[in-house]
Amino acid sequence: MTQEISTTLDVGTTAEMTNFSTLGLHPSVLAAITAVGYEEPSPIQTKSIPLIMAGHDMIGQAQTGTGKTAAFALPILSRIDASRREAQVLVLAPTRELALQVATAFESFAAQMPSVNVVAIYGGAPMGPQLKAIRNGAQVIVATPGRLVDHLSRNGGLLSTVKFLVLDEADEMLKLGFMDDLEVIFNAMPDERQTVLFSATLPASIRGIAEKHLRNPQHVKIASKTQTVARIEQAHLMVHADQKINAVLRLLEVEDFDAMIGFVRTKQATLDIAAALEAKGYKVAALNGDIAQNQRERVIDSLKDGRLNIVIATDVAARGLDVPRITHVFNIDMPYDPESYVHRIGRTGRAGRDGRALLLVTPRERRMLQVIERVTGQKVAEISLPDAKVILQARIRRLTQDLAPRVKDKENKNPELLAHLTTELNCSVEDLALALLAKTTEGQAFTLAGVEREQPVLAPRSRDDRAERGSRPARDGGRDSGSRERREPLALSEGKVRCRTALGTRDGIAARNLLGAILNEGGLTRDAIGRIQIRESFSLVELPEEGLERLLGKLKDTRVGGKALKLRRYRED
Ligand code: AMP
């Protein structure tokens, strides 16, 4: 299979409008997309879906955040034979986290296909249930290469019925040292198959794999024309997906905005965020594709004249929205590509005014941020979550601004009423002022302790990317599917012990950094490493008990993020 990599299709963005229903997807898949709340395909989906539907091999150059999972999952699910209870799809992913996410995404897109089953195969969990799920006829296998090779060594015919192979985050798989495992897997696959490779970068090693194992692949990538972004101050905040609403609430406290448009990806998110903001007293509305045209116009008019200050919208619903009052664009969900980012933030800074653009970035979307910075030629400054002190200062500043003109205003004063109230209540002017302050600030704390009490604790999470997919819970109670394993608390795996490092989130460490360092310097395979838990001031990693001292010796001088790893065995008692 040595053919040249052929045509390159650059994915243009906002100009083209496609609808999911025009892409030839299976009706059950279309119904699931509607249920998940996607309104329109992302650029990478618009290009990839027809190619995969037409049976082409494909190389997709796209990173997390572009919608790449759905770009391959939707057409593949549309093409499998759900009546055959045998493995038909194999997706290879570099890490357990990604394998679980992809499995969950497949499950949500197959929600209307009751006979389709999905199994996630990864290290650190018992092999028995995984094998059983394959034997029971799961059509979709999502696996990390290391563990799949273990299965193949016991049952070489496991993949003999697979017709679709996806290599997801291929560059990451090679970085993690899975090259040899990939070769074993290719050799265990039928030649007659369709292969799709997704990778953020295309180094020579990936091109080599493509030349050897893909047939006349079509090449799809996100075009990244340089874009100009004028007069817009840009900032980003790193946040976990499930902490977004809280982050939005806190940032709005300290941002001085006139009107704001917040962008999210799904209809449900427009409703959830608008509801959370409304509960805090903001004048906000949701705009999504389900909202009737006349209602949409009412919302836009209200934003123009100040009856509303915030609109939370999907890209589709915000098309053509042009309101000069908008001072802030808030990218609550990452746009699919830099062009769409530039398009979104162009909603502010109108009429020669300065604008501000905020962006929430989940750990897995870091790379997308880098692409945006590269394409726009501008840095998007990192900001941190405002703490209670900053929020309190902002509240006091706003209250002061609000009261200043009233204090100066000579006309609208009522000294008779003041005299009447102080007499009636038998109190001083100061007591009365304090009572009135308490009344006007009702529902909002104005002391440090009070503001602290209001804020939910943002616990750093152990997995760096869990809740990122907008997917639904497993539809069938899980059976042997990945989603069930994902919900179970993970006890210490057999033969593993916990080790601790004093590096944590406050040192800018994510699970991926620790994993990379331990794999590279410790010479382990991915499956040798169990669960990684990242806390604020320390992290725990499950490592094999056998040979632990030798391994810790090898890692003695390892540095992560510029700091000494100093991994030690951790005893819980
Ligand atoms: P991915 O690039 O596959 O990691 O996807 C990133 C996120 O985008 C996930 O939360 C998906 O659920 C979401 N997503 C993917 N495609 C769409 C779409 N067409 N509309 C809305 N959200 C999407």
> Within 10 A of 42 (CB to CB), how many other CB atoms are there?
26
SS3 content of the chain, % helix, strand, coil (to 5): 45, 15, 40
86 CB-contact burial (10 Å; exposed 0-12 / middle 13-18 / buried 19+)? middle
Question: Smallest Cα–Cα separation from 328: which of 417, 256, 229, 415?
Answer: 256
Q: Is the CB of 41 under 6 A from ligand 1?
A: yes
User: For the chain, how big is the Rg over CA atoms in Å?
Assistant: 27
Nearest Cα residue to 261 out of 286, 295, 228: 286
Q: What is the pLDDT of residue 457?
A: 46
Look at residue 351 in the predicted model and tell me its pLDDT: 59
Residue 144 CB less than 6 A away from ligand 1: no
Beta-carbon contacts of 195 under 8 Å, excluding residues fewer than 6 positions away, are 57, 164, 165, 166, 167, 213, 214, 215, 217
With tokens 């296909």, the residue in question is 113
Q: What's the pLDDT tens digit per position in 345-386?
A: 988 876 566 789 999 999 989 989 999 998 888 899 999 999
Q: What is the pLDDT of residue 225?
A: 62
Q: Atom 13, ligand 1: which residue's CA is nearest?
A: 67
Apex 565 CA angle, 564 and 566, nearest 5: 95
**Residue 288, ligand 1, Cβ within 6 A:** no
Ligand 1 pocket check for 65: Cβ under 6 Å: yes
Does residue 334 have its Cβ closer than 6 Å to ligand 1? no
> Ligand 1 center to residue 179 CA distance, Å?
28
Contact indicator for 496, 544 with CB cutoff of 8 Å: yes
pLDDT at 224: 62
- Check: CB of residue 270 under 8 Å from CB of residue 286: yes
In this prediction, residue 469 carries a pLDDT of: 30
Which pLDDT score, from 0 to 100, does residue 68 have? 94
Q: Which of 18, 61, 66, 69 to mutate to test the pocket of ligand 1 (most atoms within 8 A of CB)?
A: 69
Q: Give CA separation, 433 vs 15, 22, 234, 402, 547, in Å.
A: 57, 64, 40, 15, 71
465 lines ligand 1 (CB under 6 A): no
Whether residue 570 contacts residue 540, with contact meaning beta carbons closer than 8 Å, is answered with yes
For residue 335 and ligand 1, the question of a CB distance below 6 A is answered with no
544 pairs with which residues across the strands? Answer: 496
What is the model's pLDDT at position 504? 83
Q: Please report the DSSP string for 350-389 in residue order.
A: GGG--EEEEEEE-GGGHHHHHHHHHHHTS--EE-----HH
Residue corresponding to tokens 């460490």: 509
37 within ligand 1 shell (Cβ under 6 A):
no
- 3-class secondary-structure state, position 26: coil
**Per-residue pLDDT, 223:** 63
Q: Which atom of ligand 1 is nearest to the CA of 364?
A: 4
Q: Return per-residue pLDDT of the chain as tens, 573 residues.
A: 433 333 344 444 444 457 999 999 999 999 999 999 899 999 999 999 999 999 999 999 988 888 999 999 999 999 999 999 999 999 999 999 899 999 999 999 999 999 999 999 998 888 999 999 998 999 999 999 999 999 999 888 999 999 999 999 999 999 888 999 999 999 999 999 999 999 988 999 999 999 999 999 999 987 666 666 667 899 999 999 888 999 999 999 999 999 999 999 999 999 999 999 998 899 999 999 999 989 999 999 999 999 999 999 999 899 878 888 999 999 999 999 888 898 899 888 765 667 899 999 999 899 899 999 988 888 999 999 999 999 999 999 999 999 999 999 888 889 999 999 999 999 999 999 999 999 999 888 999 999 988 766 444 443 333 333 333 233 333 333 333 222 223 466 678 888 888 888 777 787 877 887 888 778 777 778 888 888 877 888 889 888 888 889 888 888 887 788 989 888 754
Ligand 1: atom nearest CA of 470 is: 12
Supply 2's token pair.
């040595």
- pLDDT confidence of residue 490: 42
Q: How far is the CA of 31 from the centre of ligand 1 (A)?
A: 16
What the chain holds in terms of domains, given with CATH numbers, is 3-221 (3.40.50.300), 232-385 (3.40.50.300), 392-454 (no CATH), 463-569 (3.30.70.330)
The atom of ligand 1 lying closest to the CA of 65 is 2
266 lines ligand 1 (CB under 6 A): yes
Is 66 touching ligand 1 by the criterion CB < 6 Å? yes
Three-state secondary structure call for residue 497: strand
Residue 64 in contact with ligand 1 by CB distance below 6 A: yes
Is 505's C-beta closer than 6 angstroms to any atom of ligand 1?
no
Q: Give the pLDDT confidence score for residue 257 in this predicted structure.
A: 93
Question: Quick one: pLDDT at residue 448?
Answer: 92
